[in-house]
A and B are shown apart, each in its own frame.
Chain A
Amino acid sequence: MAIIFSLTGLILASGAACWFVKDLKAQYFISLFAAGAHLLFSFALFTGICAPQLAFLSLDPLSRLFLIVVSNVYFWVVLVSYQYLKQSTAKGSGKKYYFIFLNVYLLANSAAILSNNFAMYWVVSEMTTLSVAPLIYYLRDEESLEAMWKYLFLVSVGIAAVFIGIIFLALSATGTVVEGKQLFFTDFIRHAALLNPVWLKASFIFIFVGMSTKIGIAPMHSADVDATSTSPGPIAALMSGSLRVTALVGLMRILQIVRGTSVYEFARFIMIIGGLLSIFTAFVFIFRVRNYKRLFAYSSVEHLGLIVLGVATGGLAFIGAMYHIVYNSINKVVIFFCAGSINQKYGTVDSEKVSSLLENMPWTGWIFMFSFLAISAVPPFGIFFSELKVFEGMLFSNRPWVLFAVLFFMLFIFINMGRVVLQMLYKKDENSKVVKERERVNITHAVSLILLVMLIALALFTPNVLKSTIIDIAKDFGAAS
C-alpha cells in the first residue's frame, strides 16, 4: 500500500515541481524520473513482484497489462519530449505547461486503469480528458484550437453518457445484494447473474457509446481523429498508444459484468457493429485523406476497431486482441514520432508536399518505412502475429463473414496507406524548398529503433509473464478455459 501512496506522491510532486521550476530541462528530468519510477512500479506489478491491496484498486491481470502498456508508452514519450520541444517553434505558453499536464495525465491514467469502482473510474477518466486537452492545443494555431474544443466538448458529453450508463447499472442492481452499495466492479461481476437485464442492456449501450468518443470507435471517432492529427508528435503518440487503452478499460469492465448474463450476446453484437463500422470508416476516409497525421489517426480507428472486434468475438480472437493492444500501442508511438519529425522538417502535414524523405531524412525515413510495414502486419513484427490470432478466432467463430468484411476493408486500407507512405519516401520534387542537410541521429531515432526491436522481440520471444497474463485475462472473460 505504501508503494502506491509513494508513487502518487512522487507524480504529484513532479507535477508541482514542474509548475515552480521554470527551466525546461529541469522539468524534463523531473518528469523523466517520475516516468521511470512509474515504469518500474508497473513492471513490478506486472511481474507480481509487488501486489499492494487497497479497496478502491483493482490489480487483476487486465489492470496489470493495461498499466504496463500505458506506462511504457508514457516513458518513451517523455524521453523524446525535450528534444521535440527544443526543436519546436510553437508560439505561446505551450512549452511552459507541457510537463505539468503530462504528469497529471500519468496520474489520471494510472488511477483509471487501477480503479475498482465505476464512479472513481468516471472521475479520473474525465481527468485524463482535461489533462490532454491543453496538450492538444500545444501548437497554439487555429487547427489545434478547434481540435481541442471539439475533443473537450465531445468527450465530455461522451463521459456524461457514461455516467448515465453507470446510474443504469446501479438501477440494474435494485433488489439484489449490491443495491445501495458502492459501485465496485468486483461486486457487480460476482453478482452479475442477479442484475436486471433490461437496465443492464441500457447501461451497456450508454457506456459503450460514451467510451467510444475516447476509444475512437466509429461513428464517435471524429474528435479523436482531429485531436490526434493536430497535436504534436509525442502527444499524438501518447493519445494513440495509451489514452485509447485507458478508455478501453471502461468498456472491458462493463463487458466483464455483462458476460455472466443474458445481455452478453447483445453486447457482443453491438461491439461487432462498432468494430466493423470503425474499420469501414477508416476504409472510406483513407481514400480521401492527404494529411499524413490524419491518415495514421484513421489507422488508430481501424486498429481499435479490430481490437473491439477481437474482444467481442472471444476465444482466440480475444487473446489476439490483447496482444494487439500491446503491439499497436508500441507501433503507434514510433509512427507518430516519425510523423512529428517529418512535420517539423517539412513544415506541412500534406503528404503531397512531402517528398524524397529517404534522401532528406534517411534515419526518419527508414524508421518510418519499417513502422509502416509493422502496422501493415508484415512479419516478423508483432502486429502480424496478433492479427493472425484475431483472424483465426473470427474464422472459427459463429460469424466468419465478419472476417471476410474485415479482410476486404483492410486490404484497401493497406494499399492506400502504402501509396501515401511510398510517395512520401520516394517521390522526387525539384521545387521542394526543404533545406537539404545531413540528418543527425537523435534520441527520437534511438527510441524508435528500440521500440521497433521490441515489437519483433515481444512477438518472437514472448515472455512467459506476458503470455500467462493474457491467458488469465482471457479466463476472466471466459475466452479461455
Chain B
Amino acid sequence: MENVLSILFCLSLLYLALTSRVKHCVNVLQAQGIILAVINTLPLFHHFTLGEIILPAALLGIKGVLIPFYIRKIITDLDIKDPIEPTIQQFTFIMLVITLMSAVFVASGILAKSTEINIIPFASGFSAIITGILVIIFRKKLLVHVMGFLAMENGIFLFGSAIAFKLPVIIELGMLLDIFVVVFLMGIALNKISTTLSGFEAAQLRRLKD
C-alpha cells in the first residue's frame, strides 16, 4: 500500500512540473499532504496507539488543510494570475525532471542492494526534493518558489518514512510547526513584496548586489 501511495505521490510531482496553473499546484501540494498523512496512518492498522495518531492528524491538518488554505488565500488576496512562467523552455524542464527522477529510481535500486531501504518511497521522496529544487530554480513567480520548497519538504517527509529511525512526536510536531511558520512568514513577505515592489517575480529582487 505504501508503494502504491508513493507512486501516486510521484505522479503528483510530474503534474507539478507540467501544470502552468498556480491553483493546480496548490491542489497537488494538498494531495501530497493527504498522501503523507495516509502513509503515516498505515502502521496504525497493525498496532494502534492513541499517541501515534497525533502525527498523521497533524500532517493532515497542516499539510493537507492549513497550508493549502493559506496559499489559496494569498493567491486570491494578491490576485496572482496564471500562467506559471518558466525561465527555460517547458519541454526542456519536463525532460530534466523525468531524467533526474529516472536516475534517482535507478540509483535507489542500486543502493537498496547494500542498504535496507524501501526503494519506492525512498526514490519518490528524493524525486520530490529534486523536483522542488528545479521548480525553485526554473520558475519566475516567488509564490511558485514557495510551492517548490513545500514539495521538497513533502519529499523529505516521505523519504524519512522509508528509513527506520525514531523521532519523538514532539519533535515531529515541532518540524511541522516550523514549516507552517516558514510558509506563514513567506506569505507575509510576499504580501509586502507585492505592495512595496509591485510584483511577485524573482526579477523584482535585484536591489541587493555588490
Contact = CB atoms under 8 A, between A and B. Distances in A.
Contact of A120 (B153, B171, B185, B208): B171
Most buried by B among A146, A149, A171: A149
Summarize B's interface: helix, strand, loop or mixed: helix
Given A167-B156, A167-B159, A182 B166 contact: yes
Interface residues of B, number: 39
Contact of B207 (A122, A126, A142, A182): A142
A187 B108 CA distance: 27
Chain A residues touching B, range:
35 or more
Interface stretch (B65-73, B81-89, B96-104, B191-199): B191-199
Interface in A101-138: 117, 119-120, 122-124, 126-127, 129-130, 133-134, 137
Contact of B186 (A153, A171, A230): A153
A415 B68 CA distance: 53
Contact of B145 (A137, A153, A183): A153
Interface string B178-191: 10011001100100
Contacts of A226: 208
B165 interface: yes
A163 interface: yes
Interface stretch (A59-67, A173-181, A212-220, A326-334): A173-181
Interface string B137-151: 000001001100100
A126 B146 CA distance: 16
A130 B171 contact: no
B205 A181 contact: no
Contact of A145 (B166, B167, B192): B192
Contact of B208 (A129, A133, A143): A143
Given A146-B207, A146-B208, A179-B164, A123 B175 contact: yes
A66 B114 CA distance: 39
A289 B210 contact: yes
B181 A196 contact: no
Given A126-B178, A143-B207, A199-B115, A167 B160 contact: yes
Contacts of A147: 208
B69 to A, nearest CB: 20
Nearest to A169: B165
A288 interface: yes
Contacts, number: 113
B136 to A, nearest CB: 7
B174 interface: yes
B167 A149 contact: no
A127 B152 contact: no
Contact of A156 (B129, B149, B160, B208): B149
A28 B109 CA distance: 58
Contacts of B116: 174-175
B51 interface: no
Interface in B38-75: none
Contacts of A130: 178, 181-182, 185
B133 to A, nearest CB: 8
Contacts of B168: 119, 182
Contacts of A117: 171
Given A137-B192, A143-B208, 20 more contacts: A117-B171, A123-B174, A124-B174, A137-B189, A146-B197, A146-B205, A149-B205, A153-B149, A157-B133, A157-B136, A160-B129, A160-B149, A167-B160, A170-B165, A173-B165, A175-B116, A179-B164, A181-B165, A196-B115, A285-B210
Interface of B: 114-117, 129, 133, 136, 142, 145-146, 149, 152-153, 156, 159-160, 163-168, 171, 174-175, 178, 181-182, 185-186, 189, 192-193, 196-197, 205, 207-208, 210
6 contacts: A145-B192, A167-B163, A181-B166, A182-B167, A183-B167, A285-B210
